[in-house]
Structure 1
């Protein structure tokens, strides 16, 4: 059964500025991850590790859908730990005083056997920190 994680925040920045933060690898490393092989093109693969020297978790993703200034959808997996592949969808909606950012992470149940660091609670806390703190602070500074 798929019960997606959905995280939503209003950010006081124009939708174009939010889109740039989500899709420009030089901006991403300021608030998200350093994704050196990111290319905004459907079908492209990108890889990254969490910040720090440990390099514990290799993240592998493939871009599935791009709707400029509205939607970025990609897979999310940990190939060294599991065959499970999840989906992350970033959606942007223009509002009067900013942008509503909605992130949906589907099929995380595939990571259930990997332990606490891959739990629903851990992912929910992680996405809330990434969007509600890192992205929001980066764009509203």
Structure 2
């Protein structure tokens, strides 16, 4: 059987010791990775965990190698879904005193061929990329995921219209500033420009779109003078952050609007204050 391997690598603007703590200290990694009650780094010992409270997929891991500050290797198995076994390697490399690199390598994934479509190498690549390049990055750079929700006495179609109609968008976003707008292709794989009146803003990709139900924006970079800018020291810390709008039908005339947004540390209190005001305006407009 072919030994299929996936690999994810990312450089971080943190010292190697901080990166190492983030991936091996349970009090740190439970905030961005998984909650592992009996985690160990002792060679020969094992630990188990589930990916969520749903407890759908049991992970069984046995420590194979541990070099403090540099390398952590353990087996990775799904005993309830597969007879296979793979190996996960975490490597931390210092770049200089303030920067470090993480290399994550997952080998032997073809051994999970008996587990179904959720256990393909492609699925693992997507999963590890999201965990390392978004979840871990956000944790290290103090980016927090905020959640907001509101019940609206209107249909999903009506709420969706208020959210994304050009004129109503300007109204419900007034708590964030006068004259805010967006343009572009609000569709799957579309590119959107979120703009202010001073010709600045942010450009984002639509990574998931289902009309009247769900839209997921992946924020990429800054806009200046209506032009997309290359990543700079500031934007490279938040590029890849998500903003999600989800509409759920409670009954024929009632809709729940949920919003999830990744926010940098210096904007958390601002968003906690302003976003509920924006959603109240969405409710007011939708119920007219």
| TM-score (normalised: structure 1) | 0.95
| Greater Cα radius of gyration, structure 1 or 2 | 2
Q: Could you give the per-residue CA deviations for residues 28-53 of structure 1, whole angstroms, max 9, x where no partner exists? A: 110100000102211110111012x3
Quote the Cα distance in structure 2 between the aligned partners of 1:39 and 1:105: 19
Structure 1 unmatched runs, 5+: none
Matched residue, 2:64: 64
Quote the Cα distance in structure 2 between the aligned partners of 1:128 and 1:63: 23
Quote the Cα distance in structure 1 between the aligned partners of 2:23 and 2:44: 17
Tell me if 1:111 matches 2:112. Answer: yes
Quote the Cα distance in structure 2 between the aligned partners of 1:139 and 1:82: 34
Matched residue, 1:95: 95
Quote the Cα distance in structure 2 between the aligned partners of 1:73 and 1:32: 16
Tell me if 1:45 matches 2:46. Answer: yes
Quote the Cα distance in structure 1 between the aligned partners of 2:6 and 2:26: 25
How many residues align structurally?
140
Matched residue, 2:137: 136
Query: Which stretches of structure 1, 4 residues or longer, exceed 3 Å deviation after superposition?
Result: none
Tell me if 1:19 matches 2:12. Answer: no
Question: Which has the larger displacement, 29-38 or 110-119?
Answer: 110-119
Larger relative contact order (Cα-Cα within 8 Å, sequence gap ≥ 6): 1
Quote the Cα distance in structure 1 between the aligned partners of 2:41 and 2:74: 11
Quote the Cα distance in structure 2 between the aligned partners of 1:101 and 1:66: 15
Matched residue, 1:85: 85
| TM-score (normalised: structure 2) | 0.47
Tell me if 1:9 matches 2:26. Answer: no
